[in-house]
Amino acid sequence: MKTSMRKTGNFFRKNQRLLAVSLLMASIVSCKKGVVEPTVENTEDLNASVSTRAIGNLLWSDDAESSSLFSTYVSKHTATSYAITAASNPVYQGVKSARFELRDSDPEVKNGTRTEISFPDDATNLNRWYSYALYAPSDKFKYDDDDDVISQWHQGGGKTPALCLRVRKDRIFMRILGTWVDIGAFEKDVWRAYVIHVKHSSGSDGLIEIWRDGVKIMNRSGANMYAVTGDIHNPKLKMGIYKSNWNGSGTTMTNVRVLYFDDIRLGNENATYADMVPNKNGSTTPTVPTEPTSPDDGTSSQPPVTEPTAPSTSNSVIDFKLVNSATEKDVVSITNGATISLSALKIEKANIRAVVSDGVSSVKFVLSGKQSKSFTDSDAPYALHGDNGDGNFYYGNWNPPALGTYTLKATPYSANKASGTMGTAKTITFTIVK
pLDDT digits (tens, 9 = 90+) for 330-339: 999 999 999 9
pLDDT value of residue 379: 87
What's the pLDDT at 416?
Answer: 85
- CB environment 372-409: b (16+ within 10 A), e (fewer): ebeebbbbbbbbbbbbeeebebebbebeebeeeebebe
Sequence-distant contacts of 331-336: CB under 8 A, at least 24 apart:
334/428, 334/430, 335/428, 335/430, 336/427, 336/428, 336/429, 336/430
Residue 402 confidence (pLDDT) above 90? yes
273 to 194, 207, 221, 270, 330: CA distances (angstroms): 11, 15, 18, 10, 44
Torsion of Cα atoms, 324 then 412 then 417 then 328, to 10°: 10
Band of residue 290 on the pLDDT scale cut at 50, 70, 90: low
Res. 19: pLDDT tops 60: no
pLDDT of residue 121: 84
pLDDT tens readout for residues 50-70: 223 346 799 999 999 988 899
Name the pLDDT band for 311 (thresholds 50, 70, 90): very low
**Res 149 pLDDT > 90:** yes
* Per-residue pLDDT, 271: 94
Tens-digit pLDDT profile for residues 93-141: 999 999 999 999 999 999 999 999 999 988 789 999 999 999 999 999 9
Tell me if residue 150 falls in helix, strand or coil.
strand
Give the pLDDT band (50/70/90) at residue 249.
Answer: confident
For residue 26, pLDDT beyond 50: no
Is residue 154 within 8 Å of residue 238, measured between CB atoms?
Answer: yes
Cα 267 from chain centroid (whole Å): 19
Task: Please tell me the predicted confidence (pLDDT) of residue 291.
Answer: 61
Q: Are the C-beta atoms of 107 and 79 separated by less than 8 Å?
A: yes
Model pLDDT, residue 283: 59
CA distance linking residue 208 with residue 188, whole number of Å: 24
C-alpha 74/C-alpha 83 separation (Å) is 15
Q: pTM for the complete prediction?
A: 0.59
